[in-house]
Amino acid sequence: MKTYLVTGGAGFIGSNFIHYMFNKYGDDIRIINLDVLTYAGNLENLKDIENRDNYTFVKGDICDKETVSRIFTENDIDYVVHFAAESHVDRSIKNPEVFVQTNVLGTAVMLNCAKAAWEQEDGSFKEGKKFLHVSTDEVYGSLPEGNGYFYEDTPYSPHSPYSASKASSDMLVKAYMDTYKFPANITNCSNNYGPYQFPEKLIPLMINNALSGKKLPVYGDGKNVRDWLYVADHAKAIDMVINKGRLFETYNVGGHNEKQNIEIVNIIIETLQETLDDSDSRKALVTKDLITYVEDRKGHDRRYAIAPDKIRKEIGWEPETMFKDGIKLTIKWYFAHEDWMKNVTSGDYQKYYNDMYKV
């Protein structure tokens, strides 16, 4: 039985990955979930698996060396899947120090603890161990509209405190691979969407606001382009890189779903109108009149687009969910989990939302 240490497993992508792994492997694996439970970490995301004998939750900070070391000492960890990170660009602009602390120092702690547990006396590493560092396409900077893609050898050019902190953590992992031959891979993914995403991010924010008849804040002219990846497809890619990825390699994970932000908002409105029953009073609230253009984000990258050629050629992964299907699945999930949305959008989140968007 392989043991996975998943950091940030109560967050959006982490919880989806844990669900994916248990759905695929059942009782044949063991997962330890280390999460400090910031605003974006929610144990409700994992309610249906919390009582499994092969699942353990540890509340702890990846920056806490004592806690992380203890997990490695008490368990024979085969794979680290490192999701834990501060990830919202707007928050990084407001408070960059937190992003450096978690994303850079936290990654250093995780690397050092894994290295200490897996390294042998001759400097080599135990067979079958791997550290998978999950990163973002934002480290590559911005692309011209309609021209070019990010490849694994694209030079880094981060523009926000968030992307700079993730680029720094990537470089740490690369340094450990180069210096120590530390067994690791890096994945850089495009924008994820799907169940359990905290509604500060574009898609769940727009779904939640539209259903409440609230304004739909769109930065600038709304024509910034992102490549959208359904989260279950991302989880599959991570599993495949763990099992088939060549050590020391980076793999870009993209969805082949490039869309302007304003396109996304319009698709959400149209899909909600199609999905809502005529008897549902919310249907009348969901109109394009809710779209409200707000002052553009500082340093807002114009376009991201990933070429997942390498992961397709070497590992055989391809995205399976086109956006028109993925957005329907996502909206269907939020309809079925309205209590979840109410719980995460109370209290401090509302104050943050009002301060950020001023609407």
Residue 90 pLDDT: 87
352 pLDDT band (50/70/90 cuts)? low
Residues 6+ apart with CB under 8 A from 280: none
| Residue whose token pair is 């939640």 | 208
Report pLDDT digits (tens) over 52-65: 999 999 999 999 99
Residue 67 pLDDT: 98
Catalytically annotated residue among 162, 230, 304, 353 = 162
Which top CATH class is 2-193+230-254+300-320? alpha beta
Strand (E) or helix (H) holding 346: none
The Cα 113–Cα 73 span in angstroms is 9
Residue 350 pLDDT: 53
Averaged confidence pLDDT in the chain:
94
Q: Is 162 a catalytic residue?
A: yes
Q: What share of the chain in percent tops pLDDT 90?
A: 87
The Cα 271–Cα 74 span in angstroms is 48
The number of CA neighbours under 13 Å toward the Cβ of 161 is 18
Query: Backbone phi, then psi, for 199, in 5-degree steps?
Result: -80, 45
- Other Cβ atoms less than 10 A from the Cβ of 149: the count is 19
Residue 349 pLDDT: 47
Residues 6+ apart with CB under 8 A from 139: 156, 158, 163, 166, 167, 170, 188
Catalytically annotated residue among 86, 138, 258, 301 = 138
Strand (E) or helix (H) holding 59: strand 55-59
- Give the per-residue SS3 of 104-150: HHHHHHHHHHHHHHHECCCCCECCCCEEEEEEEHHHHCCCCCCCCCE
What number is the average pLDDT over the span 22-46?
A: 93
Average the pLDDT over each of 94-103, 295-304, 305-314 and give the range with the smallest value: 295-304
Residues 6+ apart with CB under 8 A from 137: 150, 188, 189, 190, 191, 227, 252, 254, 304, 306
354 pLDDT band (50/70/90 cuts)? low
Catalytically annotated residue among 61, 137, 239, 258 = 137
Residues 6+ apart with CB under 8 A from 62: 7, 8, 34, 36, 68, 82, 84, 102, 106, 107, 109, 110
Report pLDDT digits (tens) over 93-134: 999 999 999 999 999 999 999 999 999 999 999 999 999 999
Report whether 186 contacts 140 (CB < 8 A): no
347 pLDDT band (50/70/90 cuts)? low
Q: Is 121 a catalytic residue?
A: no
| Structural domain spans, the chain | 2-193+230-254+300-320
Q: Is 25 a catalytic residue?
A: no
